[in-house]
Structure 1
Amino acid sequence: MAISDDFLTRNYARQPVEFVRGDGATLWDADGHEYLDLQTGLAVNSVGHCHPAVVAAIREQATQLIHVGNLFYTDPMVRLAERLASVSGLGEGTRVFFTNSGTEAIEAALKCARKRRRAGKIISVHRGFHGRTYGALSATPQESKQAPFAPLVPGFEAVEPTVDAITAAVDSDTAALVLEPVQGESGVYVLDADVLRAARAACDAHGAALIFDEIQCGLGRTGDLWAWQDSGVVPDAVTVAKALSGGLPIGALIAGPAMADVFEPGDHGSTFAGGPVQCAAGLAVLDVVTDTGLLARVRTAGERMTARLADIPAVREVRGRGFMQAIELDGVDAMALVGRGLQEQRLVLNATSPSTLRLLPPLVITDAQLDDALTRLETLLS
């Protein structure tokens, strides 16, 4: 089929490549060219393309039951909720609300926080990204994304991600503070542990909910199952999506004890969320990403990756942790580099700004593939 935008809306800057097959860290286009993937569908394909265990789980479940809705129970839904609550680290009494995406998980978290507190103010931090529906967008303090769709939802306030700014902003009218422990969409900025500790202290002092958005940085991407674990700060709720089902649409609000019992029948819902096929895939993904050996390797390989990136002359800064990294380029157009990388090096990359390249290898990439990908990147930047 010829590549065409004739019947697609024009809100994506798509590259002129049609991918037809994927396996692990490798993609193939319609002409048979082979690529190494350092973008992973924007952090979705963390266990690689078409992971055998995920494919098997999808295939088996699809032959039994695809959809019944949330007025009934299904075994995959109940088991995935139990697994997520168990590995969340949020404590006894944690419950899960399933969604179809990360932005829907954020919407659920915002509604839950406001109902819990009967207070209006939601605080987020600059450089944050939480989604594109109206509530999530209102918590995303990026002018280029918000301005075309104003007026937004009232009651949102954005502050700098610093100890002083957060401490001053959270008060008795605050329903929740929401932030990403590692800010992905803005270019991979790791928030200091002191900032997360200040966030926890401020929320505790005023009864507000602390919500960590782990939609991109969670599920092993940083070398820990959750990015917040490095700081030791436990939130009241976590939002998760992207990597959770290996490519099928899914998301979840994991609500710790302080928020677990806020929703009552009729408060919130979703037609397709928690379907048996995507939950079966999610169980297979969790088997992979909770492996301690895999997580240890992501940490060590991530350190090696950081060192190699720092040695490239065109790179003036490396940010991130594990397999969630960004490089700030000196005198190189990162946006143009994405297209050149596809054509010249068969390398799938992603730019978050004109000077920032974001690198999100699959957690299962081999050492040889990672070295090959970094060599191709060096060649591209030389």
Structure 2
Amino acid sequence: MRSEFFKYQAQTTTHPLAMTISHAHGSYIYDTNQKAYLDFVAGVSAIPLGHNHPKVIKAIKVQLDKYLHVMVYGEYIQKPAVELCKLLAKNLPYPLETTYLVNSGTEAIEGALKLAKRATGRSEIISAFNAYHGNTMGSMSVMGYEERKQAFRPLLPDVRFITFNKEEDLDHITSKTAGVILETIQGGAGFIEPKNNYLAKVRAKCDAVGALLILDEIQPGIGRTGKLFGFEHYQCIPDILVIGKGLGGGMPIGAFTASKDLMDLLTENPKLGHITTFGGHPVIAASALATLTEITESELMAQALEKELLFRELLVHPFINEIRGKGLMLALMMPSEDITNKVILTCQEHGLILFWLLFEPKAIRITPPLTISNEEIIKGCSIIIHVLNSI
């Protein structure tokens, strides 16, 4: 299968990890040699309840026996999608009450950018340097990392960049600005949190000039930071909230949420302002509903903050310069890119899955399932320390 993987399946890098998967359960992934790997990555923050969670699997199987895709998004009333959007509204602050379900985080970003332009009649979008919001053309246009997008220019015009956490740059937000799009916690840049009420100050500036604030919660959302969404830590409510990854519970999904008045703008002038065939797919919506229900009705969010403290207590080593992030969205900062690579690859040999961040080569990603046990955290951290000691 390895040779067929490289021959028939398009690759994203020249050196994929190329582990051949047999099955997965809980906090573990198993290869075809039946070797178990403790998963500290969770599909890059996409599996908050671990692998094959029984409530998620049950919801999928129940829906499978009823119907799959029946009509393009928005035409028929389908209970899983309605209940999912209703539960999101129940757990979000006003006026975030209406959700558009799509297929991925990057598609949700596209919809959010369109909505900001439609609502304001303006064209300028402001993003942050080292931001990552997806890889389709609009999302790539607001990516703040030129090396990854220069080969695909021309991209969207009228995109400007500011430095995350730099208050002086807020003067670039003006009456020409349709929307400001920021990750609540910068992911690819190295899990950088907003400081000194930065997001609240961005919110105030947007209000002053009539621009919309879009917050990308694709990574920090769905309980990973100890609250359902990261913005709840920072006294800032966006005009448009973008969701993805963990919402699906292991199934592909994206969503953007805004007020009813804002979202209604996509229905006219022009009509069909945003359309998708498979958005709100009933099986995926059922999986997402089961995931969101479990996270909001359990103690997993509170436990994420407790587990963060355990990680910080255990991961002390001369090579660990800093641990960034919040909850179970953590990044170990190494002295060099070379050490980062050695740790990730050697830990996999020892049965622990770690991963890189997009733009920060010294960072090691730790984003395990929220369901990971303290015993599994202790086990995984001991492997990391052992590997660091061997370097």
When normalised by structure 2's length, the TM-score is 0.94
Post-superposition shift, 1:257? 4.9
Q: Distance in 2 between matches of 1:298 and 1:162?
A: 25
Check conservation: 2:96, 2:239, Cα contact below 8 A.
Answer: no
Query: Which residue pairs with 2:352 in the alignment?
Result: 347
Show the counterpart of 1:137: 140
Is residue 2:170 matched to residue 1:167? Answer: yes
Shift of residue 232 of structure 1? 1.5
Q: Which residue of 1 aligns with 2:89?
A: 85
SS for the counterpart of 1:295 is: helix
Judging changes above 3 Å, is the alpha-carbon distance between structure 1 residues 93 and 16 closer, same or farther for their aligned structure 2 residues? closer
Structure-1 residue corresponding to 2:272: 266
Does structure 2 retain, via aligned residues, the 8 Å contact 1:329–1:356?
A: yes
Maintained 8 Å contact 1:163/1:199: no
Report what 2:80 is aligned to: 76
CA distance in 2, matches of 1:117, 1:16: 46
Q: Which residue does 1:289 correspond to in 2?
A: 295
Residue from 357, 361, 386 that aligns with 1:379:
386
The change in CA–CA distance for 1:101 and 1:361 in structure 2 (over 3 A counts) is same
Contact 2:95–2:258 at 8 Å: present in 1 too? no
One-letter code of the match for 1:307? E
Any idea what SS the aligned residue of 2:37 has?
strand
1:78 aligned partner, one-letter code: V
Shift of 1:315: 0.5
Most deviating of 24-33 and 166-175: 166-175
**Structure 2, unpaired ranges of 5+:** none
Residue number in structure 2 paired with 1:123 = 126
Give the match for residue 21 of structure 1.
23
Offset from partner CA, 1:173-228 (integer Å, 9 cap, x none)? 11101101111122211112521011100000011111110000101011111101
Could you tell me which amino acid in structure 2 is paired with residue 187 of structure 1? G
1:259: how far off?
Answer: 2.3
What is the aligned partner in structure 1 of residue 43 from structure 2?
A: 41
Letter aligned with residue 173 of structure 2: V
Deviations 1:13-56 (A, max 9, x none): 42131112111111110000001001111111111001100000
Aligned counterparts of 1:143 and 1:163: Cα–Cα separation in 2: 20
Equivalent-residue separation in structure 2 for 1:19 and 1:106 (angstroms): 31
Compute the displacement of 1:8 (Å): 1.7
Give the match for residue 221 of structure 1: 224
In the alignment, is residue 195 of structure 1 matched against residue 202 of structure 2?
A: no
Shift of 1:380: 1.1
State the partner residue of 2:373. Answer: 366
Structure 1 residues 80-89 or 9-18, which shifts more? 9-18
1:115 deviation in Å?
Answer: 0.4
Aligned length: 379
Percent identity, please: 31
- What is the distance in 2 between the residues matched to 1:273 and 1:329? 40
Structure 1: gaps (5+ residues): none
Matching of residue 276 in structure 1 with residue 279 in structure 2? no
Work out the CA distance in 1 between the residues paired with 2:287 and 2:182.
Answer: 27
Alpha-carbon distance between aligned partners in 2 of 1:287 and 1:166, rounded to the nearest angstrom: 39
Distance 1:239 1:258 in 2: 17
Kindly report which structure 2 residues correspond to 1:288-367, keeping only aligned pairs within 5 A, or say none: 288-291=294-297, 293-309=299-315, 311-331=316-336, 332-343=338-349, 345-352=350-357, 353-367=360-374
**Match for 2:306: what amino acid?**
T
Partner residue, 1:155: 158
Name the aligned partner's letter for residue 57 of structure 1: A
> What per-residue deviation string (whole Å, max 9, x for no partner) do you get for residues 272-293 of structure 1?
1101100001110011221352
Amino acid at match of 1:261: D
